[in-house]
Structure 1
Amino acid sequence: MNFLLDDFLPYQLSTSSNAVSDLIASEYKSRFGLKIPEWRVMAVLGTRGASTQRHLVEATLMDKVTVNRAVKNLVDRALLDRSPNSADGRSHHLLLSSTGRDLYGQILPAAQAMDKKIMAVLSAEEKAELAAMLAKIKKSADTIARA
């Protein structure tokens, strides 16, 4: 069997994702004191509003332990507010606190600038094609996982 790791899609996606995440992580850590999971939680809450931890796991595709740790750190830093979930007494609604919204407002332009810098190697058409292809791949994986 002739297997080339560099041509294996999961390897390509993982190494590309890790390279981008590591680049961004160094900036978030040095400028804002956040790790990538913490930023992902803040980004979901910043764009989608209040959420439960279970929904954060689904939205970020991170495991429960990673999300739990990120939420705890953000609550400890007063970047998130927690309120009881009347529909499920075992969970809480989480949302960005005032301090969290302020920090999110500082991070978002930096995140967008880094995204623009990274994606500058692609034309507008290539960006659209990449987004469409990644959506198709994710849909395919989701369909196979449900089967």
Structure 2
Amino acid sequence: MSIPQPRPSPTHGPVEPIDPVSILCFTDAAWHATSTKAGCGWIFISQQDDQLHQGTAMFENTSSALVAEALAIRSALLNALEVGFTRIWIKTDCQALVAFINSKNHPKDLYGISRDIEHLSLSFDCISFSYVSRNLNSKADSLAKSALYLTTTNYS
């Protein structure tokens, strides 16, 4: 199965999914290096800008910010399948991760998670992954930071 890619804009990168009925999913992660904890957040939005669903997750023993970002995408994909979304456009502010996913190049520290993402992608009728600037990803960023903050303050 080939994964449809967003059509690039001549000046600004991907702006429009090939499938106009895809749900937009903004993902982000917040990582705390000292505790090695990661908070992940995602938000599903219709193309008419209606918020449909959102979620968070927390992970311990996370080795890097890049791994945390990959965990956020994997968590969002699992949640999308749970709620029944079949056409999705994942947007993240982690440009390196998008490049890895789209190239199917699996760095060692991401190998298992990126293989999970690749496998989960097969469950969707249509899926795209693209980079979005950090300032356009503020809702997912807030969710990720909240998930991380709640876990770090609840541990005594």
Rg larger in 1 or in 2?
1
Instruction: Name which structure has the greater RCO, CA cutoff 8 Å, separation 6+.
Output: 2
Q: TM exceeds 0.5? A: no
Higher strand share: 2
TM score, norm. by length of structure 1: 0.31
TM score, norm. by length of structure 2: 0.30
